[in-house]
Chains A and B, each alone.
Chain A
């Protein structure tokens, strides 16, 4: 199975900050990568697919980049509603796997 490693596992940031989360695949996955946001007690929400395509309705402050093994999710100007846990997920193989998650907390 393809292993997905996210870093950092958690960090603190302030409203208005630009934040970047990294996801690394154990083998090349082209651009078959999605990002999700999950708030406590809620279901995950799709933010980005195909590494950089914004899902309909997702604010443009979210962006994704990368291909092959290294990917990033960037939030250009952190808003209060963005404090959550973020997961990457590869779908290069038919057995999709997730990263361990990155929790973004309020500083």
Chain B
């Protein structure tokens, strides 16, 4: 079954840290770039971060740059998001999402949209 399952959310104080995980199954995780997207309560969607299939390149939204770190362990089919210096405005449901980009014999392409989403994990930053 093709799926993504996030974990690691919870309540944390401002300035604190949290690490989210996303377990992938049913597809070749090591062949695809992966994203984190978040949604504040009652609000719209905001892209957070991307990592290439091999971890060689990472991109971040300005709102989290320098505070969040995306990483992956292809041997464990798992994506991570390390969140430091958390703020109240980071409160959201965090989704991991798969990029449908593909690799040819010579190059790999990132699509920058999202064809598979997890169910999300809620992060609440509050004192």
A contacts, CB < 8 Å to B:
32, 34, 36, 42-46, 49, 55, 87, 89, 91, 94-101
Are the C-beta atoms of A96 and B113 separated by less than 8 Å? yes
Do A91 and B117 touch across chains, with their CB atoms under 8 A apart? no
Label chain B's interface by main secondary structure.
loop
What 10 pairs between A and B have smallest CB-CB spacing? Answer: A91-B112, A43-B117, A34-B113, A98-B45, A96-B47, A91-B113, A101-B44, A46-B115, A100-B44, A96-B112
Q: A87-B44, A87-B45, A100-B44 are in contact. Are A94 and B117 (CB under 8 A)?
A: no
Tell me the dominant secondary structure on chain A's binding face: loop
- B111: nearest chain-A partner, CB-CB: A91
Residues from chain B with a CB closer than 8 A to the CB of A32 are 112
Known: A89-B45, A89-B114. 14 other contacts (CB 8 A): A34-B113, A36-B114, A43-B118, A43-B119, A43-B120, A44-B95, A45-B117, A87-B44, A91-B111, A94-B50, A94-B110, A96-B113, A98-B47, A101-B44
**What A residues does B110 contact at CB under 8 A?**
94
Q: Verify if B54 is at the interface (C-beta below 8 Å from A).
A: no
Chain B 75-119: CB-based contact to A (< 8 A → 1; otherwise 0): 000000000000000000001000010000000001111111111
Among B95, B110, B115, residue most surrounded by chain A Cβ atoms (within 10 Å):
B115
- Chain A residue with minimal CB distance to B96? A43
Say whether B11 faces chain A, with CB atoms less than 8 Å apart.
Answer: no
Please name all residues of chain B whose beta carbon is closer than 8 Å to the beta carbon of A95 when the two chains form the complex: 47, 59, 61
